[in-house]
Structure 1
Amino acid sequence: MATTAQARPASARPARSRRRGVSIRERGSYWWYLLPIGVGFGAIVIVPFVMNVVVSLFKWKGGRSPLRWYGLGNYTDLLADQEFWLSFRNSVFMIIAIVVIPTLIGLVLAAVLFDYLGRKFGSRTAAFLRATYYLPQILPIAVAGFIWSWILDSRNGSINSFLRTIGIENPPDWLGDPSQALSSVMAMLVWLQIGYPVVIFMAALQRVDPELYEAAELDGAGWGRRFLAITVPQIRPEIFIVVLTATVGALKVFAPILILTAGGPEGSTVVPSYYAYRSFFELSKVGYGSAIATVMSIVIFIVAAIMLTWQRRTDNERVA
């Protein structure tokens, strides 16, 4: 009996080792599925970024002009460049226009559409309004920019035409006045961005248990109380995704500035991405433009890493 008892584990060992070997081979085969992603990431992100860093170490006018080693000179010049710091400051206003205002308005609109209008007028009405808010996201950015350039035109724009009809003879020059241009661009960006959080938040609200709202309503909680106590905590992961993606988009915003103001007037609306573009193609300072692009890439990476770390810690605290 002792011999039989000892024989069982011995006979079981080869089976376990075979299973272990199969599982190791299976896990190893999974890496092949990541190969196309890794190759694409390297070709689209890593290689261009490394090339950009290398170019930023030279003075180069582009084309066949000679490369002159400059080391970190482009970066030291950047630190003393007042126009760069102005563009960096304007990035804060882009974050306000693309992240803060649309996210707050989107939260309220999504909650109203889902918790109030959806119940009172039906889901079709809520879906129609949701699609209406999302319409600016579908428009090509060039089309949206030209629409707003007509709306904000100082002579024949719709806003100033309306102001003249009500007796204001000298309406503002929305895109030509340095004190008005940045706020005008921000208004266009809010309009352009607001549909994105509305759609994401309404989709997130579909997974919230309706009994939570019903129980809160039976307890006498009003709409505002339900919004703060149920809606916002329940869709916190989606809020984080919207804030993260919109922040990255705000730090690299380019096309609206190019179409509406081209960084003017007097540099009041210039942003880092447009400043890098102008250094590349208008001023023929390719190395300097590469330095701007490198700095902004690092800033975006740091901001994204901080937000992801904060989100992970928040999730761990909620689980604990």
Structure 2
Amino acid sequence: MSAKKIWGMNGIAMALVVLALSNWTGLAQAQDGNDLEQLLEDMSGAYAEGYLAPLVTGFGINQNSALYHTAFIPGTTVTISLGLKVMGTKLSDEDQTFRVVRNITINEDYGVNPGEEGYGEDGVVVMSGPTVFGSEDEGGRMTVLYHGLPVHVEDLSDLTGLVESKFVPLAMPQASVGGIMGMEATLRWLPDIEIQSGVKVKLWGIGLAASANYWLPTLPVDVKVGFFNQSLDVGDYVATDARSLYVVASKEFSMLTAYGGLSRESSSMDVTYTYSGTGEEIAFSLDGVQENRMTIGATLNLGLKINGEIGLGDLTSFSGGLMFGF
């Protein structure tokens, strides 16, 4: 394959990646002119944790998708492949809204001033509203309770969802080199890409896989085990990590390869920003909900390889890819 064609494919892949990231994270400006970073600055830490919870799950499941399209790794012949992976996760209805309850000391931070009922006493704050993937037309609400009765209720009408969606897409370029003692290394990488004024996305990921057939050549199917570690940073406030340990088996039938895999995975998100309401520096971490996955897929070899798969875990994901190689 010529260098010109490879660079052309990389350019197309880069454009698709930027489009997917800008759409699903809501970093493209919403109708009211807000973006994710602006909204976070108007949220307390507890509110932001509930608001962003489905984001870390969407990030993590997508990043841990489309890690392979076959279990075959040559034992001695070096192979190189380049291409694009696309993936999407279907969210549940519960991911559209959130409700957070915290024990607090009632004070001005929660809209209760000195001399008012409950001030300085122990109470409860209930925060609810749309998540980042919830309604773009409805805001949140904060209710402060003292002895179970409301002493302050505040409508947070500006804290709307950014992208009202039950499907979270992502796309990224991928390159692999394999064939040395049945080993294969895979790289996912993007430089800093500005997808909105002042907001950049940076991605990297690296994985390593080993062929069981290199050591056990009589196995009736191709088998490999591998791991993958990735990070995806969005702007200055959000940084994510995703990790996967997997085993996959495949069988080739002429131009079609069927494969299936099991994985143990995790994801996390670190969030840091300054809350404009109090000037407080907010920092917290969230973990994605999915820990296990079963993958079923197939690859069609037409010179270029086209694959599609479904991932079954806490949520359902769909992935596909185009890979060119030699």
TM-score, normalization by structure 1: 0.23
Task: From the CA coordinates, give the structure whose radius of gyration is larger.
Answer: 1
Q: Which has the higher contact order (CA 8 A, sep 6+)?
A: 1
- More strand, by proportion: 2
TM-score, normalization by structure 2: 0.22
